Structure 1
Amino acid sequence: MKRLAYLLLSGLTLATMSSCSKDDATPAGPREYQVEYRISSPTAPQSDYLSYDNESGGTTTLSNIPLPATYRFKRTLKQGDHLSLLASLDGGTAASEITAAILLDGREVRKETGRGAGAQAVPVYVIGQ
């Protein structure tokens, strides 16, 4: 019985370890990515405020943006660098909703949805995370 328990535990450990490995290991050195931000709302025609990390590593801030909105650019990033996006609705209702997503090379890496009168979505992604 101990041997069976040991075999089951060993098999479970191996399965867990193999499922934790990254399929798309991020190289430690700099690499160019296609960055895309997507902002949408099923309840509002525009976002009152939008702020995101741009192609130069600075911050772009916009007001009264029609939704849905998409921003794309190429940026060289290395492990540990981050991308962030903040989108908000002002003066909504309890049913208001806004969603913001970060995509790298066409793959969604982070998505957040904010709800309520002052809804905010703030996804942040760290390269290599």
Structure 2
Amino acid sequence: MKRLATLLLSCAALATASNCAKDDATPTGPKEYQVEYRISSTTVQASDYISYDNESGGTTTVNNVPLPASYRFKRTMKQGDHLSLLASLNGGTAASEITAAILLDGKEVKKETGRGTNAQAVPVYVIGK
């Protein structure tokens, strides 16, 4: 009887653990996401350089961008694919700062702030990590 109780408890624990794993699992197949990049600063009015992964997986680069700035698009990605954004200031002061954020489906997944005369913010997000 003791072995039966142990076996039943073990099965119950295993079933609970496997259900939890299913809830937390990230889909590995392709999924379409609404991607948004947000760049802002409380100390300067423009970023001298912004570079980001675009809707085709290539890179888009823009210069002298008034802040705040935002870029939105849809992109189909799978586990292991990444999004990256680089925003910089040139010739600011020691107190200058720039913040860059990556959002997926309206949820912020990564945010970085750079400070200083040549501040850079470089958030990178990997799907499923």
Whether these two folds match at TM > 0.5 is yes
User: Gaps spanning 5+ residues in structure 2: where?
Assistant: 1-16
Q: CA deviation at 1:26?
A: 2.1
CA shift for structure 1 position 22: 9.1
Count residues with an aligned counterpart. Answer: 110
Residues 1-129 of structure 1 mapped to structure 2, 5 A cutoff: 25-129=25-129
Structure 1 length normalisation: TM-score?
A: 0.82
Over the matched positions of the two proteins, sequence identity in percent amounts to 82
Distance 2:86 2:22 in 1: 28
1:38-66 CA distances to partner (integer Å, 9 max, x unpaired)? Answer: 00000000000000000000000000000
Residue identity matched to 1:73: F
| Greater C-alpha Rg | 2
Give the residue type in structure 2 aligned to 1:121: A
How far, CA to CA, are the matches of 1:64 and 1:31 in structure 2? 33
Cα offset, 1:24, TM superposition = 5.5
Inter-partner Cα distance in structure 2 for 1:104 and 1:117: 30
Q: Deviations over 1:11-50 (max 9, x none)?
A: xxxxxx9xxx796632000000000000000000000000
**TM-score of the two chains, using structure 2 as the length reference:** 0.82
Measured at CA, do residues 43 and 23 of structure 1 come closer, stay the same or move farther in structure 2, by a change above 3 Å? farther
Mind listing any 5+ residue stretches in structure 1 that lack a counterpart? 1-16
Q: CA RMSD in A?
A: 1.6
C-alpha distance in structure 2 between counterparts of 1:78 and 1:128, whole Å: 8
CA distance in 1, matches of 2:23, 2:40: 29
